[in-house]
């Protein structure tokens, strides 16, 4: 069995979505290439093939036959797309020549020569591409259709209209190129988290190097205003970090010695000396960029459907144009000159760019917008699926709750003791323990206590601790350990305090509910989405948390296999809507993978979270889930608007042209005008 290797390239000067689809289709026909994908939004070509040193040269040769202007570059090469200056210069020269030829009183041969020259200047690029494609691949495309239409208009005596049609077409193409370039730039700016350099410390000096050259253990300096180039641990200094490019979170993080810093963050204030802890290929910024770059390679069903339609759309229209030109005079009193003119209008309208471009560009823009919010979506298929969620199942610990303990309330049973006395007795014992509950009690007490008078400290595993204070035994722990016989109604963990052979107080400790969890559940319920909790935790505690949050269904005390089986049952009972599972990373990997959409509340920088799910909430903020669903809904609305507008406009103008109510001007609008409008409409996804 031959081993296939994945290759990635950039396609320079690819400014037509339909052209990108054509390249993908033709390369896919080659038996040596597998999983070919052309991403028009990122100008990326990816495919799998056996190892071949001449592969780039082979692909370049094939693409030149399909799209002569497109150049194949290495994947990491920067693509300079701005051809507008030359296009505007050529357009200006062509317009001047045409106006002089049409509106001056020069002798006929001079005027006619200037008009013909203006046609040649304006159509030079289009004609060149049309005939190269016709020669190399024996197919017709937008370039050929426009060339034939304009030359045909000239030959049947519609010289003025033919001239203005080509002018409008070229103006539209320039505006379209600028709109596409600006849209790509807007999305690129949203995801512009790649660091350009790192300050590598060499003795007392520092030198600028590429982040890719850093090794584990290197010491780097991060100055104020600079991006963190690679993940690491702070060894010296303090700073305030802006992680909004990674997470969408606007609050600055206080960073000091021993803290982890993640690549892509910006040092807003301070100076840090950081020890590198990973290679660049394993850093947070690299993984995120790779994820977003590859996201639109996984195409949604809508994209696939539109691609198939676009392939048969143009041939059908061309066939209709021939029928109109040939048969219209037979069934009406229209002359052949008029019928040919109307057929030419058909050819201009048939260009499928608006349809082909609007869907992939919309998905790419939606994924870019989500990444700005700290939501990483692994493909346009998952972005599309978010809008269809009917039920969301949540894990509890680390997802709905913080995963860290906090004291909910203090109860004093003996009125002879005041709150500060009781808390001091708790603190004296817990000061010697490393248990998470001990840390949470000390945080609740909130002050340092003197432990010099503490004697004979003992820790009894699974029960509690004991110590002597002024000759009296103090016990802190569960009910049996502290000899408490009454029944409590608390949810969570209750820690009792036994002093002088009597229980005098207790602390109720719970796993803290995440901030905005209740608001998130309320929002999801308003959106008509059912909520459920599947957890291995205690049933009483789980039901209490579910009640506080307004969660519809609870399954508690589950083993990982139980979670999986309950999810299977839920999936079978969902007919049209999709089921999402929200967990905190690799522990929930089986159910994340089995659900229709796996959403990780993965701690920022967690590779396990990124690998285990389809959507990653980088900040662990539950309120990002409704945001992701709304972005999905908005993207779908924009796609439908674009498709309906493009198809309706083309159909109306097509029908109007048959009855002589639409001319070349309207046909040009149905092509480049509609394309431009759909591109501008797509950019609305970027707005909040």
HEC assignment per residue over 611-663? HHCCEEECCCCCCHHHHHHHHHHHHHHHHHHHHHHHHHHHHHHHHHHHCCCCC
Q: Is residue 440 within a helix (H) or strand (E), and if so which, with residue range?
A: helix 436-445
Beta-carbon count within 10 A of 190 CB = 19
Calculate helix-pair angle for 301-331, 624-658, nearest 10 degrees.
10
Active site (annotated) includes residue 395 = yes
**Bridge partners of residue 579, in order along the sequence:** 391
Distances (CA, A) of 292 to 75, 192, 367, 369: 15, 11, 7, 11
Dihedral pair phi/psi, residue 447, rounded to 5°? -155, 160
Compute the distance between CA of residue 519 and CA of residue 531 in angstroms, rounded to an integer. 13
Compute the distance between CA of residue 317 and CA of residue 16 in angstroms, rounded to an integer. 19
Compute the distance between CA of residue 356 and CA of residue 376 in angstroms, rounded to an integer. 25
Distances (CA, A) of 667 to 145, 158, 341: 12, 15, 12
Distances (CA, A) of 264 to 232, 527, 630: 12, 34, 26
Alpha carbon of residue 199 to chain centroid:
30
Quote the strand ranges of 243-373, DSSP E. 253-255, 260-261, 266-276
Compute the distance between CA of residue 358 and CA of residue 44 in angstroms, rounded to an integer. 17
Cα first-last separation, the chain: 50
Identify the CA nearest to 237 among candidates 201, 283, 196, 183: 201
Q: Is residue 381 within a helix (H) or strand (E), and if so which, with residue range?
A: helix 380-386
- With the CA atoms of 544, 550, 554 and 560 taken in that order, what torsion angle do they form, in degrees rounded to the nearest 10? -100
**DSSP class of residue 119?**
H
Identify the CA nearest to 228 among candidates 268, 176, 168: 268
Helix, coil or strand: residue 599: strand
Dihedral pair phi/psi, residue 238, rounded to 5°? -145, 155
Contact 385, 496 (CB under 8 A): no
Q: Is residue 10 within a helix (H) or strand (E), and if so which, with residue range?
A: strand 5-12
Contact 634, 342 (CB under 8 A): no
Q: Which residues, 6 or more positions from 162, have their beta carbon under 8 angstroms from its beta carbon?
A: 119, 150, 151, 152, 153, 154, 664
Quote the strand ranges of 304-400, DSSP E. 375-377, 389-394
Contact 231, 211 (CB under 8 A): no
Q: Which one of the listed residues 395, 584, 596, 671 is annotated catalytic?
A: 395
Catalytic residues: 395
């Amino acid at each position: 069995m031959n081993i296939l290797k994945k290759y990635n390239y950039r396609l320079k000067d690819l400014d037509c979505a339909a052209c990108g689809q054509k390249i993908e289709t033709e390369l896919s026909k080659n038996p040596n290439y597998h999983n070919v994908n052309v991403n028009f939004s990122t100008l990326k070509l990816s495919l799998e093939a056996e190892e071949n040193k001449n592969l780039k040269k082979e692909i370049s040769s094939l693409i030149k036959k399909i799209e002569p202007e497109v150049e194949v570059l290495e994947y990491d090469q920067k693509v300079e797309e701005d051809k507008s200056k030359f296009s505007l210069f050529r357009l200006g020269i062509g317009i001047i020549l045409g106006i002089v030829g049409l509106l001056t009183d020069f002798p006929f041969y001079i005027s006619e020569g200037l008009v013909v020259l203006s046609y040649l200047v304006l159509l030079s690029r289009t004609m060149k591409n049309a005939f190269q494609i016709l020669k190399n691949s024996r197919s017709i495309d937008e370039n050929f259709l426009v060339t034939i239409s304009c030359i045909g208009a000239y030959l049947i005596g519609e010289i003025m209209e033919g001239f203005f049609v080509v002018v409008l077409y070229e103006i539209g193409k320039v505006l379209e190129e600028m709109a596409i370039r600006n849209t790509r730039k807007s999305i690129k700016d949203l995801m512009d988290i790649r660091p350009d350099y790192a300050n590598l410390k060499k003795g007392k000096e520092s030198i600028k190097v590429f982040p890719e050259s850093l090794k584990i253990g290197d010491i780097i300096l991060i100055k104020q205003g600079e991006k963190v180039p690679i993940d690491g641990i702070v060894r010296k200094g303090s700073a305030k970090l802006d992680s909004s490019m990674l997470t969408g979170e606007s609050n600055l993080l206080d960073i000091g010695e021993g803290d982890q810093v993640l690549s892509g963050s910006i040092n807003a204030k301070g100076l840090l000396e950081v020890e590198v802890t990973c290679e660049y290929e394993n850093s947070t910024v690299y993984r995120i960029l790779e994820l977003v770059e590859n996201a639109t390679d996984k195409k949604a069903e809508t994209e696939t459907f539109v691609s198939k339609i676009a392939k048969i759309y143009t041939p059908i229209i061309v066939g209709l144009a021939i029928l109109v030109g040939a048969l219209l005079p037979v069934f009406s009193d229209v002359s052949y000159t008029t019928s040919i003119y109307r057929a030419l209008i058909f050819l201009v309208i048939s260009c499928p760019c608006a349809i082909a471009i609007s869907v992939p560009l919309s998905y790419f823009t939606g994924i870019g917008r989500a990444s700005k919010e700290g939501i990483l979506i692994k493909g346009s298929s998952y972005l599309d699926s978010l809008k269809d969620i009917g039920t969301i199942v949540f894990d509890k610990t680390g997802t709905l709750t913080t995963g860290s303990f906090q004291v909910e309330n203090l109860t004093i049973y003996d009125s002879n003791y005041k709150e500060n006395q009781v808390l001091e007795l708790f603190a004296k014992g817990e000061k010697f323990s490393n248990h998470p509950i001990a840390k949470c009690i000390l945080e609740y007490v909130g002050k340092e206590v003197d432990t010099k008078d503490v004697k004979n400290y003992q820790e009894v595993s699974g029960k509690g601790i004991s110590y002597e204070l002024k000759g009296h035994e103090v016990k802190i722990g569960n009910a049996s350990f502290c000899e408490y016989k009454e029944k409590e109604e608390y949810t969570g963990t209750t820690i009792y305090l036994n002093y002088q052979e009597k229980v005098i107080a207790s602390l109720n400790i719970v796993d803290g509910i995440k901030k905005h969890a209740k608001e998130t559940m309320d929002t999801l319920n308003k959106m008509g989405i059912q909520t459920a909790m599947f957890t291995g935790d205690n049933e009483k505690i789980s039901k209490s948390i579910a009640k506080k949050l307004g969660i519809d269904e609870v399954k508690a005390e589950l083993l990982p296999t139980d979670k999986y089986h309950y999810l299977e049952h839920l999936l079978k009972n969902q007919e049209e809507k999709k089921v999402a599972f929200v967990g905190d990373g690799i522990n929930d990997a089986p159910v994340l993978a089995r659900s229709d959409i796996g959403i990780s509340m993965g701690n920022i920088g967690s590779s396990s979270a990124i690998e285990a799910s389809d959507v990653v909430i980088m900040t662990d903020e539950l309120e990002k889930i409704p945001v992701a669903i709304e972005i999905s809904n908005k993207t779908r609305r924009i796609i439908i608007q674009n498709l309906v507008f493009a198809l309706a406009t083309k159909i109306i103008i097509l029908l109007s042209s048959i009855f002589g109510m639409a001319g070349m001007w309207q046909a040009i609008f149905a092509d480049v005008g509609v394309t431009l409008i759909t591109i501008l409409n797509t950019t609305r996804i970027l707005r909040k």
